[in-house]
Structure 1
Amino acid sequence: MAKQPPGSGRGMSTRLKTAEGRSTASQRWLTRQLNDPYVKAAKEQGLRSRAAFKLLEMEEKLKLLKPGMRVVDLGAAPGGWTQVAVQAVGPRGQVVAIDILPMDPVTGATVLQGDFQEVEAEERTIDAMGGRADIVLSDMAPNTTGHQATDHLRIMGLAEIALDFARRVLAPGGAFIAKVLQGGTEAEMLATLKRDFATVRHMKPPASRKDSAELYVVATGFRGSAAAT
């Protein structure tokens, strides 16, 4: 599995060579990217996104991904979490990555392009895995508007549809990990999770930027398809 990234340290920061034609917000974002140890480590390790380290760090504590497992990665592009899952489950496992956007192939994974909310997506996913999933992952997030209430509703909406899909494809005992926002999971969604899973908790991995409001909800011990009806 990919290595953990180094600490940011107190080394010299990298500055933009030119700011010409860039907005102030764009300059800030690019400067942050240039000086982000996770971005640098992802490039060095051949990972497609810094987000891969969020899953790696959670896995260090959770140890949910095991050889031979069936895994679904929702909204998978560009594929950082898919890469981590493939390494974890090994050649005997099955990883299905789904995104409405095109995504470059990941060796060891089945990449499906399409909307997982469509009726046939459930069947396509189970067919590709050869059975029901042991874990469903979702690092999905909408483009932010800058309006806190709107952004919260949009990201929670994605988490809810990811949960709905997970409840339809998970095997009994399975797990679900999804991005939510600080303040935790909405009461209605949390009630559903507690009803359908044995354990529910929230995590904020170190790779999640300190100024980000994102959290991850982790639900384990799916009670089975009877609970999802």
Structure 2
Amino acid sequence: MAKLDDRSARRDRFHRKAKREGFAARAVYKLEEIDSRHQIFERGMTRVLDLGCAPGSWLQYAQQRIGDGARLVGLDRAAPARPPAGARIVAGDVMAVDVAALLGELPAFDVVLSDMAPDTSGIRHLDQARSEALFERALEIAIAVLAPGGNFVGKLFQGPDFKRLTEAVRARFVAQKTAKPSSSRQISIEQYVIGRGFRPDAGGAR
């Protein structure tokens, strides 16, 4: 998504807070609020995949939240400038990446996160369609790599297929919710779709 200009960013309290607290981006507070409300990182969940992980604030939050024993993997076309120590970064395009490359030696992930957004064009229907494609791919990967009972969070622009895609999450998880965190900009059409309690046998074989 388009970034704020420097002057606007300096005025943004979440940007200032992230800088003060050592996080790579203000987006960390979106995940923090979602986690606080929906318990994304449950006790014993240590294996986390972050799709579109740059600049790295969600990985930073996951490491801080889990502590020792965190097994973090991030995917992005460009590596984060400050990934957490011990995180494994996979360079590549989410649309083409091999799921086996994401898993590495892990049998599965406990949490799959996606804050991916398209490079926006300013043409609303086009941006919505691109966001829907990214979300659908994130969900496809989550279904392939999540352990039973695992959790999913994915960004999705509101658009014509919003209901269909939220229902696709509902079909594979015990509980499905949507959220727009307070740190999301008021004019943004982004929503976060949450799936808790992955059911690998729902909707057919993995």
Q: TM-score, normalised by structure 2?
A: 0.89
Question: Match for 1:175: what amino acid?
Answer: N
Cα 1:119/1:99, change in 2 over 3 Å? closer
Deviations 1:90-136 (A, max 9, x none): 1212111111223234213111112234363x1122224x2211110
The match for 2:63 is 86
Deviations 1:125-174 (A, max 9, x none): 2224x221111000000111111111111111110000001100001111
Could you tell me how far 1:68 is from its partner in structure 2? 4.7
User: CA–CA distance in 1 between the matches of 2:120 and 2:95?
Assistant: 21
User: CA–CA distance in 1 between the matches of 2:174 and 2:197?
Assistant: 5
The match for 1:141 is 117
Matched, 1:107 2:85: yes
Matched, 1:164 2:140: yes
The match for 2:194 is 218
The match for 2:175 is 199
User: CA–CA distance in 2 between the matches of 1:184 and 1:84?
Assistant: 32
Count of residues in correspondence between the two structures? 202
Could you tell me how far 1:194 is from its partner in structure 2? 1.7
User: CA–CA distance in 2 between the matches of 1:86 and 1:108?
Assistant: 9
Deviations 1:35-73 (A, max 9, x none): 001111111111000101110111111222145521100
1:155 to 131, 145, 148: 131
User: CA–CA distance in 1 between the matches of 2:46 and 2:179?
Assistant: 22
Q: Secondary structure at the match of 1:135?
A: strand
Stretches of 4+ aligned residues off by more than 3 angstroms: 116-119, 182-185, 225-229
Question: Match for 2:9: what amino acid?
Answer: Q
Cα 1:138/1:196, change in 2 over 3 Å? same
User: CA–CA distance in 2 between the matches of 1:110 and 1:228?
Assistant: 31
Equivalences for 1:169-180 in 2 at 5 Å? 169-180=145-156
8 Å contact from structure 2 (residues 173, 198) kept in 1: yes
Aligned CA RMSD, in angstroms, stands at: 2.2
The match for 2:101 is 124
Structure label with greater radius of gyration: 1
Unaligned runs of 5+ in 2: none
Q: Secondary structure at the match of 1:192?
A: helix
Deviations 1:11-57 (A, max 9, x none): xxxxxxxxxxxxxx99x733321100111111111100010111011
User: CA–CA distance in 1 between the matches of 2:199 and 2:126?
Assistant: 33
Q: TM-score, normalised by structure 1?
A: 0.81
